[in-house]
Amino acid sequence: MSYTDLGKATGLSTSAVHQRVKRLEERGLITGYGASIDHAQAGRPLTAFISITPFDPSAADDYPERLADIEEIESCWSVAGEESYILKIRTATPADLEELLARIRTTANVATRTTIVLSTAFENRPIS
């Protein structure tokens, strides 16, 4: 959204909006900007969440480093609970997901549990 459009929506002048956004960036509240991707158009319409659990709980916790080069992994969250991490992935087909699961298991020496997304009601909602 442009500064002018933000100003109209908030009742502020364009310059006031620009100054406020700049302060939010300087404070580190706004850390970056990104594009919204149509993943189906990008050739990866299948979204899934993969929970990983180490076979050996005493092993080094270096899973993000082990998995960093797998491009289908969009996000990697460390979580509390039975699993150690939850991965958000995007692939083209179920066969690609199956192959990806084998790579993750081999690369990280973990057990996996997968949830396939059927539809997305909303994602990356702005904080109001």
For residue 47, pLDDT beyond 80: yes
Q: At what angle do helices 3-10 and 14-27 cross, to 10 degrees?
A: 100
By DSSP bridging, strand 46-54 and strand 110-116 are antiparallel
Average pLDDT over residues 49-72: 95
Instruction: Report the percentage of the chain scoring pLDDT > 90.
Output: 86
- Strands of 55-124 (E only): list them: 73-78, 85-91, 110-116
Say whether both 66 and 89 belong to one domain.
yes
- CATH code: domain of residue 26: 1.10.10.10
For residue 81, pLDDT beyond 80: yes
In a domain, 106, yes or no: yes
Say whether both 30 and 46 belong to one domain.
no
Element containing residue 49 per DSSP (H, E): strand 46-54
Return d(Cα 43, Cα 60) in angstroms, integer.
35
For residue 81, the enclosing domain spans 39-117
Say whether both 57 and 90 belong to one domain.
yes
For residue 115, pLDDT beyond 90: yes
- CATH code: domain of residue 69: 3.30.70.920
Say whether both 44 and 29 belong to one domain.
no
By DSSP bridging, strand 110-116 and strand 85-91 are unpaired
Say whether both 73 and 109 belong to one domain.
yes
Say whether both 46 and 19 belong to one domain.
no
In a domain, 10, yes or no: yes
Say whether both 73 and 111 belong to one domain.
yes
